[in-house]
């Protein structure tokens, strides 16, 4: 496992995002009770309220140990049209670029603690 990024961001609207900086659309929340929602290019992850402070986002490559299956909020693919993936919160003006290369990337997102996450870990499964 290699750490690719570690950032603290203000989760405006109680969410952070992972995805292509050039994505044309943003995932829509259905009920507001989802742990995460996604399009082909962006995943939005529900977090604690911005009033409760920053959320730590860690991006790691390959397999991350020490996570339970209970804290997985997304397991799928995201497409990047350029060479980077961004993590953070666009409304807070805090999007951080992580070099991953162009194409489809299998990712698994863990959020903890459940119910009001203050930490989000993005595991990029196709990076070594």
Q: Residue 31 pLDDT > 80, yes or no?
A: yes
99 burial level (CB within 10 Å; 0-12, 13-18, 19+): exposed
CB 100 within 8 A of CB 83: yes
pLDDT for residue 32? 87
Q: Give the span between the Cα atoms of 31 and 11, in whole angstroms.
A: 19
> How many domains in the chain?
1
The mean pLDDT of 73-95, rounded to a whole number, is 96
41: Cα separation from own chain's centroid: 11
Question: Where does the pLDDT of residue 99 fall: very low under 50, low under 70, confident under 90, or very high at 90 and above?
Answer: very high
The conformation of residue 29, written as its DSSP 8-state character, comes to: P
Bridge partners (DSSP) listed for residue 122: 59, 109
Q: Which residue range(s) make up the domain with 74?
A: 2-124
pLDDT for residue 51? 97
pLDDT for residue 62? 77
C-alpha closest to that of 76 among 113, 41, 117, 115:
41
CATH number of 9's domain? 2.60.34.30
Q: Residue 64 pLDDT > 90, yes or no?
A: no
CB 7 within 8 A of CB 56: yes
């Amino acid at each position: 496992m290699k750490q690719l990024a570690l950032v603290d961001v203000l989760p405006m609207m109680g969410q952070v995002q992972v995805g292509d900086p050039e994505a044309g659309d943003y995932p829509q929340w259905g009920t507001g009770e989802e742990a995460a929602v996604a399009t082909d290019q962006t995943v939005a992850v529900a977090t604690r309220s911005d009033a409760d402070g920053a959320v730590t986002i860690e991006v790691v490559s390959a397999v991350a140990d020490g996570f339970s299956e209970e804290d997985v909020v997304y397991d799928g693919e995201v497409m990047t049209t350029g060479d980077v993936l961004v993590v953070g919160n666009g409304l807070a003006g805090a999007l951080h670029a992580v070099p991953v290369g162009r194409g489809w990337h299998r990712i698994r997102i863990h959020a903890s603690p459940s119910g009001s996450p203050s930490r989000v870990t993005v595991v990029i499964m196709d990076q070594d």
